[in-house]
Amino acid sequence: MNIVLFSPLMRESLAAAAVLLIVATVIVVRRGYGGLGALLGVAALLGGGALAAEALVALSVRMAAPGATDFNEYRWVFLAPWGRFGLAAGAVTVAGIVALSWRASRGANAWRRALLIGLRAGAAVTALVVFLEPAVELRQVAREPNRIAILVDDSRSMALREDPRGPTRIERARRLLAASNGALAGWERDHKIDYYTFAETVSATSLAGLASDRAQGKATLIRKALEYIRGRYEGRDLAGVVVISDGASTGGFDEDSGDGAVRDFLRSLDTRVHTVWAARPGLRDVAVAKVMADEFAFVRTVVRIDAVIRTTGLPARQVPVTLSTDGQPLRQK
């Protein structure tokens, strides 16, 4: 681990600026502009001094740090109790010393003036370091990656296709994941990704398992799926949830009324929830949305059965409905 004060680009820029300023100082002094030459010389000394200070800090830390321990992180701290107020006051004092040195050295030639101001500025910065007592805190940090849960809807509605020649919704979800390989690989550098399918229940899966998923679930219980996923992880172990679905929920959110209840539920999960719509406009479909009947019935007793038929993308019409058992039709209406 290297202790640095500047980025590589900043370091190269300071070195180049110092060289250019020295050249400019020589040219300006030869043309008789002593004041400007002194100013450029001071700037060159400041750039070179900053690079020298960084090298000195790195050397000091390397010599003082124990060699048997591998450190992978560091931070700067002030041992003095002055904090940021002391840093600001010290910076103002150093600037004042440089300004007074500039004014007091008016009679000197350009090179001597630049050297005097640079030495006094260096002494002031050294005093500031003693005043603030900066130190480097070396750390050995081990990070445990948290997890991202990706939920893919595999209910029967995901087997529908809006265009007879187009992909089904589950195929569209698979293509989305395949096209997101780069993003998923980036996530896996800092997180672990868990894949799940959900319908009436939630099941752990993988990308290989999703490739053969036929989307045969009997319901789309989005809220219960989110509650289940939240319960599998503790606190911040769950970095976020991605839900890929057509949004045709058959339960869960419907028992709450209003957007406020939904927002309260999502807030209670204490994690980010992102949704991806796997459907597209233009679907034409007829489906049995709900069947209602008594749980018990007696032989030769009239039983009432109610069904809710949901049509999508079709005008109002009469739909024939057949009641069957074991594949044998009993009644049609």
Each domain of the chain, given as residue ranges in start order, spans 8-139, 146-277, 285-332
What's the average model confidence in pLDDT over 225-254? Answer: 86
Structure confidence at residue 257 as a pLDDT band (50, 70, 90):
low
42-62 per-residue burial string, b: 16 or more CB within 10 A, e: under 16: bbbbbbbbbbeebeebeeebe
| Residue 124 pLDDT > 70 | yes
| Residue 197 pLDDT > 80 | yes
Token pair of 110 as six digits: 């350009």
**Residue 295: predicted pLDDT:** 82
**Residue 254: predicted pLDDT:** 52
What's the average model confidence in pLDDT over 245-260? Answer: 68
**Percent of the chain residues past pLDDT 70, beyond the cut:** 95
Higher-confidence residue: 174 or 305?
174
198-220 per-residue burial string, b: 16 or more CB within 10 A, e: under 16: bbeebeebeeeebeebebebebb
Comparing 134-143, 194-203, 261-270, which segment has the lowest mean pLDDT? Answer: 134-143
| Residue 199 pLDDT > 60 | yes
102-128 per-residue burial string, b: 16 or more CB within 10 A, e: under 16: beebeeeebeebbbbbbebbbebbeeb
Comparing 222-226, 255-259, 310-314, 326-330, which segment has the lowest mean pLDDT? Answer: 255-259
Higher-confidence residue: 223 or 72?
223
| Residue 110 pLDDT > 70 | yes
**Residue 252: predicted pLDDT:** 54
Sheet arrangement for strand 191-198: 202-205, 191-198, 146-153, 238-245, 272-277
Structure confidence at residue 67 as a pLDDT band (50, 70, 90):
low
Structure confidence at residue 56 as a pLDDT band (50, 70, 90):
confident
**Percent of the chain residues past pLDDT 90, beyond the cut:** 30
We find that the CATH architecture of domain 146-277 is 3-Layer(aba) Sandwich (3.40)
**Residue 253: predicted pLDDT:** 58
Task: Return the top range by mean pLDDT from 157-166, 197-206, 280-289, 310-319.
Answer: 197-206
**Residue 202: predicted pLDDT:** 95
**Residue 235: predicted pLDDT:** 82
| Residue 163 pLDDT > 60 | yes
Query: What is the chain's mean pLDDT, rounded?
Result: 86
As a three-state string, the secondary structure of the chain is: CCCCCCCHHHHHHHHHHHHHHHHHHHHHHHCCCHHHHHHHHHHHHHHHHHHHHHHHHHHHHHHHCCCCCCCCEEEEEECCCCHHHHHHHHHHHHHHHHHHHHHHCCCCCHHHHHHHHHHHHHHHHHHHHHHHCEEEEEECCCCCCEEEEEEEECEHHHHCCCCCCCCCHHHHHHHHHHHCHHHHHHHHCCEEEEEEEECCCEEEECHHHHHCCCCCECCCEHHHHHHHHHHHCCHHHEEEEEEEECCCCCECCCCCCCHHHHHHHHHHCCCEEEEEECCCCCCCEEEEEEEEECCCCCCCCCCCEEEEEEEECCCCCCCCCEEEECCEEEEEC
| Residue 119 pLDDT > 70 | yes
Task: Return the top range by mean pLDDT from 30-39, 113-122, 148-157, 310-319.
Answer: 148-157
Contacts of 147 (CB under 8 A, 6+ apart): 191, 192, 193, 194, 233, 237, 238, 239
| Residue 141 pLDDT > 90 | no
Contacts of 250 (CB under 8 A, 6+ apart): 155, 219, 220, 221, 289
Higher-confidence residue: 65 or 58?
58
Structure confidence at residue 1 as a pLDDT band (50, 70, 90):
low
